[in-house]
Amino acid sequence: MSSKDAANEGAPLRRGLLFVVSAPSGTGKTTVVERLVQRVEELALSRSYTSRATRPGESDGVDYNFITRARFEQMVAANEFLEWADVFGNLYGTGASDVERQLARGCDIVLVIDVQGARQVRLRYANTVGVFVLPPSFEVLEQRLRGRSKDPEEAMQRRLRMARNEVAAFAEYDYVIVNDELEACVERLRAIVLGERARLRSVRREAELIVESFIEKAPR
Ligand code: 5GP
């Protein structure tokens, strides 16, 4: 019986796994994770809340839940975030009840959040699986950022400074992958998810049920 079948019967065989992916801006983490969730069953990408303005091509309820700063602050005061952080002067946060509901249903979730947010999540959920995505080098990151953005030089300098602080946190994570080539990076991340799903702590209940059926049915 898969965890999905069990969930259909009411109680999942295990709680969902919580994956946290962090990387400096420009590493390509969003594309990597979007491909990952298309490729792996029963893995959902958590949609964050943010006070920042939508960028061209983005829409509310798809890329983020876009809310006002005042609404964000109300949610902070009401303790509605699992974690939140100020990134580049905008507020970003993960809805606590959204995540808890999915984990309780046995659904695995990926959060794509910054280093500060990842630290808060680890404090709340000890079993968080952290993955840090590194760009191959400083030069490659700078090239990617300059290629995709029309930010003024000052904003670019701020992003690069921030990247320097973020990469230094890699050792706080369980896994580190280098995004040298998009497809290879997606596959490494997929391998991590599948590996974590096969760990004893993830499969113990399902395995116990199988073993119980042997105890009941197999000859002594
Ligand atoms: P962007 O504005 O480029 O979409 O995201 C900027 C940064 O905010 C990225 O490093 C991204 O990982 C981070 N971020 C996005 N959503 C969240 C969130 O819910 N919580 C935290 N702590 N960081 C987030």
96 vs 79: CA distance, rounded Å: 8
Q: Is residue 95 part of a domain?
A: no
Ligand 1 lined by 113 (C-beta under 6 Å)? yes
Cβ neighbour number for residue 134 with a 10 Å cutoff: 17
What is the arithmetic mean of pLDDT over 189-194?
98
Going by alpha carbons, the residue nearest to atom 21 of ligand 1 is 113
Q: Indicate the top mutation candidate among 19, 52, 66, 92 to test ligand 1's pocket, ranked by most ligand atoms within 8 A of CB.
A: 92
The CA 198 to ligand 1 mean position distance, Å, reads 29
Ligand 1 lined by 7 (C-beta under 6 Å)? no
pLDDT in tens, 23-75: 998 888 999 999 999 999 999 999 999 999 998 899 999 999 999 999 999 99
pLDDT in tens, 78-126: 999 999 999 989 999 999 999 999 999 999 999 999 999 999 999 999 9
How many structural domains comprise the chain?
Answer: 1
Structural contact between residues 18 and 106, judged by C-beta atoms closer than 8 angstroms: no
Res. 6: pLDDT tops 50: no
The CA 128 to ligand 1 mean position distance, Å, reads 18
Res 152: pLDDT = 87
Res 26: pLDDT = 85
The CA 117 to ligand 1 mean position distance, Å, reads 9
Q: Is residue 72 part of a domain?
A: no
Domain of residue 188, residue span? 3-46+109-217
Res 161: pLDDT = 93
Structural contact between residues 205 and 13, judged by C-beta atoms closer than 8 angstroms: yes
- Name residue, tokens 């990076």: 185
Q: Is residue 34 part of a domain?
A: yes
Q: Is residue 160 part of a domain?
A: yes
CATH number at residue 129: 3.40.50.300
Q: Please indicate, yes or no, whether the overall pTM of this predicted structure exceeds 0.85.
A: yes
Ligand 1 lined by 93 (C-beta under 6 Å)? yes
Q: Is residue 54 part of a domain?
A: no
Res. 5: pLDDT tops 60: no
Going by alpha carbons, the residue nearest to atom 11 of ligand 1 is 113
Res. 154: pLDDT tops 50: yes
114 vs 22: CA distance, rounded Å: 5
Structural contact between residues 34 and 137, judged by C-beta atoms closer than 8 angstroms: no
The CA 2 to ligand 1 mean position distance, Å, reads 33
Cβ neighbour number for residue 130 with a 10 Å cutoff: 22
**SS3 label, residue 64:** strand
Q: Is residue 75 part of a domain?
A: no
Confidence tier at 1 by pLDDT (50, 70, 90): very low
